[in-house]
Amino acid sequence: MFPASEDDILALVNRHFPEDHPSLSLGRGDDCAVMLPRGPLAVSTDIFAEDAHFRRSYFTPYDIGWKSLAVNVSDIGSSGTVPTGFSIGLTLTGKEDIDWISQFCEGMSDLSLRFDLAISGGDLARSSLLNICITAWGELPSALPLGLRRGVAQEGDVLFISGRLGLARLGLTVLENAVRKGADQEKKQWPDACSQHLRPMPLAMEGRTLGDFAVKKGLQDRIGLMDVSDGLARDLPRLLASQKSGLGADICICEEDIHPEIRLWCQEKGHDAAAFVFEGGEDYALAGTCPREHWEDIAELLSTFSVPFLRLGTVKKGNITLNGKGLLSSGFDHFVS
Amino acid sequence: MFPASEDDILALVNRHFPEDHPSLSLGRGDDCAVMLPRGPLAVSTDIFAEDAHFRRSYFTPYDIGWKSLAVNVSDIGSSGTVPTGFSIGLTLTGKEDIDWISQFCEGMSDLSLRFDLAISGGDLARSSLLNICITAWGELPSALPLGLRRGVAQEGDVLFISGRLGLARLGLTVLENAVRKGADQEKKQWPDACSQHLRPMPLAMEGRTLGDFAVKKGLQDRIGLMDVSDGLARDLPRLLASQKSGLGADICICEEDIHPEIRLWCQEKGHDAAAFVFEGGEDYALAGTCPREHWEDIAELLSTFSVPFLRLGTVKKGNITLNGKGLLSSGFDHFVS
C-alpha cells in the first residue's frame, strides 16, 4: 500500500517517535521545535544518500533508518558526549510504500531509543533518489566547552582506537561482490563484516566516558578524539593536524588485533591485512590521542565496554608508518573517482 | 574548471564563510561544531531539492544558495526570533564547476551576512540530483521558552499577515511557462513575482519584533505565528489548529491589497485574484493571530518594516470564508500529484 500524502507519512513517523522529550520545550509539529540546552551543544550534520552511501539492493529499509542516524550519533560521540536529539531531512522517491517507511522508522527508532534521542522534526521532499540528511546535537559538560577535538596531540602521546577498523570495508566489499555476482550466500560467510557495514553501533557512550575523564583530569586540551569515517589512513592526519603540526605516528597493527573475518579474507585474496584495516572506511570507530601517563586509566575505562579497543602506537614528528613501513594511501573522497 | 576534490569544495566554502562566530565555541573543521546557547533554541530543518523545489533552468546558482537558506530563516523567524546559525547537507551531482559553487556560496553568504549567521559545518555528498538540506537555529528570549507557535488563537482574535501572498505563486507560474514556451522575455513583465519566487526575503526581523512584543506584554501564549510556505489555504487551518479547535476565520482580501502584477495577470487570464492569493504557495510570509485589543500596537510595529502587512480578518468558530465565500482548496502536497 502506497502512502497517499505527506500527512500519512507524518502519521507513520508519529507512531514510531514520541512527539515530546525532556530536552524539548516544544516538540514536533510547529515551524520550529524548541530545545532547552543546559550547556554547550555539539552539533553535526551528515548525509546518507542512495548510491553514494548505500544501495537498496542490500540495505534493508531498517538498515537505512539505523545507519543514517548512526553516522551522526558517532560524530557527537567523538566530541565527548552522547546526543540528545536530531532532526531529519528525508527525500523519498515516492516508490516507498507504507511498509518500507515503517521499517525505515523502526531502524531509526531502535537506535534512537538506545540513546533516548528527541526527534525535533524535519522536512519531507520527493526526488528521484533517496537522500537522508540528519543534524544531531548533544549537550556537553560546561567544563568541556569545545568538546573533545582534533589537533591536540603532542609528540610522545599514545594513539588509540575504540571500535573495529577495516570490518565495515570488508562488509562493503563482500556486499558489492554479492550484488555483482548475484551470490547472496557469500554474505553468510562474513556475518560480522556485513553487519558492521549495514548496522554500525556508534560509540557515543565510549566518547562520553572519555569526555568525562578529560573533565575530571583537567585534560580538555590534551585528549584528542575523532570518529574514523573515511578510513584511518585518511582520518589520522586530521586527528594529528599533521599539515600544521608536522606530527605523524608509528603504528602497529598486529595479526591478533585483526578481526578473524578480515584475516581470513585477506589470506584468501593475498592482501596485506594490516594495510586493509588501516585503509578501512566507514569504521565509525573513535580514534584518540592522550598523554602517555594517562593511557592506563583510559585503557581501563575502555575495557568496560564490549567493543574492542587498541593502543595503536605513538605520536611522533614526521611521517605515519604502519608496522615499520611508510604510507601513501589517502582514503576515500566522494568527488574523486 | 571542475572541482577536483572535496577539499577544493571546502576551500571555496571557507572563502565565503568565516570559520568562527561569536555563537560558536568551536567552529567548522572538526567532527562537531560547538555552540554556546544562552537561552531556548528554536531549530528547524528544510530540504531544497532539484525538481522538487527548484529547477536549474531558471534558478541561478546564486538563487539556489539564497533560497535554500531563506526558507529556513523564515521558519526561525516565525518562532519569534532571528537565527544565529545553520548547518548544511549539500548533495552535488559532480557537474557543478568551481564558478557554479562560488555563486551558490555567494547567494547563501549574502543572506547569511544580513542575519549575521554562523555556518557550523555540514556534509558533502555526490548524487544524481542537487539536494540541499539546511538545519537552522535561533536563540529565543528565556521568557519565550516555546517561541511563538500555532494553535493559540481564540474566537475574535485578529488574523494578520506580514509579507506578500500569492506573488511567489505567480513567479513560479511565469517561470514555468517561460521554460515551456522558451519565452524568456515574459519574465521581464513580472519582475516582482519572479524575484519573490527566486529570492524571497525571510521575515525573521519581523518575527523577532513580534516575539519581543509578546514577551513585553505577557502574550507568549496569545500571539500565534507561523510561516506560510504551502499557501494560506493549507497553512491557515494549521495556524488555527482547526481540526482540534474548530476555529475558522472570515477573511477579506480586497483588490487594493493585491500586488499589481497579480491583479494584472489574473485579469488577463480571467482568474479570481483573491482566490489566487489565498491559495498561493512558497510565500514565506508570516501569518499571525493576536487578541483584538493588541492589533493596533502590532500594526504599528509591522509598519516600521518595508514589507507590507495586512489585517486579514477575524477568527471565529466554524469554516474559513474568503470574501464571503466558503473554501475547498487544500494547497500543495509533495506526495499527491
For the segment B65-105, what is each residue's pLDDT rounded down to a tens digit? 999 999 999 999 999 999 999 999 999 998 899 999 999 99
Determine what percent of chain B is predicted with pLDDT higher than 70: 96
Q: How confident is the model at residue B337 (pLDDT cuts 50, 70, 90)?
A: very low
A26 with B335: Cβ contact below 8 A: no
Q: How confident is the model at residue B329 (pLDDT cuts 50, 70, 90)?
A: very low
B140 with A47: Cβ contact below 8 A: no
Terminal CA-CA length for chain A: 39
Q: Mean pLDDT, to the nearest integer, of B290-316?
A: 97
**Beta strand B247-251 with B131-139: parallel, antiparallel or unpaired?**
unpaired
Q: How confident is the model at residue B331 (pLDDT cuts 50, 70, 90)?
A: very low
How many beta-carbon pairs under 8 angstroms link A with B?
233
**Integer Cα distance of B121 and B103 in angstroms:** 18
Higher pLDDT, B147 or B129: B147
Bridge partners, residue A45, by sequence? A135
A300: Cβ contacts below 8 Å, ≥ 6 apart: none
Higher pLDDT, A1 or B198: B198
Terminal CA-CA length for chain B: 39
CB atoms within 10 A of CB B69: 28
SS3 B26: strand
pLDDT at site A334: 52
Q: Mean pLDDT, to the nearest integer, of B35-60?
A: 95
pLDDT at B162 over 80: yes
pLDDT at B327 over 60: yes
A133 with B123: Cβ contact below 8 A: yes
pTM: 0.94
Which segment of A271-285, B10-24, B261-275 scores lowest on mean pLDDT? B10-24
Mutate to test the interface with B, among A7, A90, A133 (most CBs of B within 10 A): A133
A43 with B146: Cβ contact below 8 A: no
Q: Which residues in chain A have Cβ-Cβ distances shorter than 8 Å to B244?
A: none
pLDDT at site A335: 55
CB atoms within 10 A of CB A117: 26
Ranges of chain A with pLDDT below 70: 1-4, 183, 328-337
**Integer Cα distance of A329 and A280 in angstroms:** 11
**Integer Cα distance of A279 and A98 in angstroms:** 39
The alpha-carbon gap from B172 to the nearest alpha carbon of chain A, in Å, equals 18
Q: Mean pLDDT, to the nearest integer, of B31-52?
A: 95
Element (H, E) at B288: strand B285-290
pLDDT at site A181: 83
pLDDT at site A326: 81
